[in-house]
C-alpha cells in the first residue's frame, strides 16, 4: 500500500486549508490503496533554514531537520494542500522543501491549491512545479484548484462543491499510477 502524506502547507493559525486538507485525506482514505498520514506544516514549525550544510549533503545538525527528514522519508507519495498568497506559494512552504533534498527524490506528488479568489491558487501551483521537479519529485499530470475557500469552510468543516471529489479522484489516480511506476533515472543537479 502506498504511504501517502497529505501535507497542509498553510502556517496561519486561522487557515481554511486545514479543513480542506482533512477532507482531502478522508477522500484519499475512502479511495483505497493509500495509507494516509495527515501532516500539518504549522505543527512541524520549522525555523527558517538554519542548517550549516547544503541539503544535498544529507548532513543535518539540528533535531528538527532530522525529524522532518524522517517524516518525509517515510512517505511514498505526497498530496500538497497549499494556499496562494499574493499570487504565489508561501515562504514557509518553500523553506520546508529547501530543508531536504534526497528525501524528495522520485516521489510522486499531487497538488491541491486554494485561494479566496477565482483562481483557486492555480498560479501558485504552477509556480511550485519547477521547484518540485528540481528536487526530483514527480508531479501528477492533474491538479485541483479550489476558488472561494472562505465560503466553503463552515462549522462542519470543508463543504466540497459539486464535482470537486471527482477532480480530486483524478489527481489521486495520477499519484497512484506514478507510485506504481518506477521513477526514471534522471540526474538532477542541485
- Tens of pLDDT, residues 158-188: 999 999 999 999 999 999 999 999 776 554 4
pLDDT tens digit string along 146-160? 999 999 999 999 999
Radius of gyration of the chain (CA): 16
In this prediction, residues 6-13 reach a mean pLDDT of 96
pLDDT tens by residue, 48-82? 999 999 999 999 999 999 999 999 999 999 999 99
Provide the whole-model pTM. Answer: 0.94
DSSP 162: T
Q: In sequence order, what are the residues at sequence separation of 6 or more whose Cβ sits closer than 8 angstroms to the Cβ of residue 34?
A: 1, 2, 3, 4, 28, 77, 172, 176
What pLDDT was estimated at residue 187?
45
**125 Cα distance to chain centroid:** 10
Task: Report the largest interatomic distance among the alpha carbons of the chain, rounded to a whole angstrom.
Answer: 48
Residue 65: strand, helix, or coil: helix
The predicted structure's pLDDT at residue 182: 75
Give the homologous superfamily in CATH for domain 2-180. Answer: Flavodoxin domain (3.40.50.360)
Amino acid at each position: 500500500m502506498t504511504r501517502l502524506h497529505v501535507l497542509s502547507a498553510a502556517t496561519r493559525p486561522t487557515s481554511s486549508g486545514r479543513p480542506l486538507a482533512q477532507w482531502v485525506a478522508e477522500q484519499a482514505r475512502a479511495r483505497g490503496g493509500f495509507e494516509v498520514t495527515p501532516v500539518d506544516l504549522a505543527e512541524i514549525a520549522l525555523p527558517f533554514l538554519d542548517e550549516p550544510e547544503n541539503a544535498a549533503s544529507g548532513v543535518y545538525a539540528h533535531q528538527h531537520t532530522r525529524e522532518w527528514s524522517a517524516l518525509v522519508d517515510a512517505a511514498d507519495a505526497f498530496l500538497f494542500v497549499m494556499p496562494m498568497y499574493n499570487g504565489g506559494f508561501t515562504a514557509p512552504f518553500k523553506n520546508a522543501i529547501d530543508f531536504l533534498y534526497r528525501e524528495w527524490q522520485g516521489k510522486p506528488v499531487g497538488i491541491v491549491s486554494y485561494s479566496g479568489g477565482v483562481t483557486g491558487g492555480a498560479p501558485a501551483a504552477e509556480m511550485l512545479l519547477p521547484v518540485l521537479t528540481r528536487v526530483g519529485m514527480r508531479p501528477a499530470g492533474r491538479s485541483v484548484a479550489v476558488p472561494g475557500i472562505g465560503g466553503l469552510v463552515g462549522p462542519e468543516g470543508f463543504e466540497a462543491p459539486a464535482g470537486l471529489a471527482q477532480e480530486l479522484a483524478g489527481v489521486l489516480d495520477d499519484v497512484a499510477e506514478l507510485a506504481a511506476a518506477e521513477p526514471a533515472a534522471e540526474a538532477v543537479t542541485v
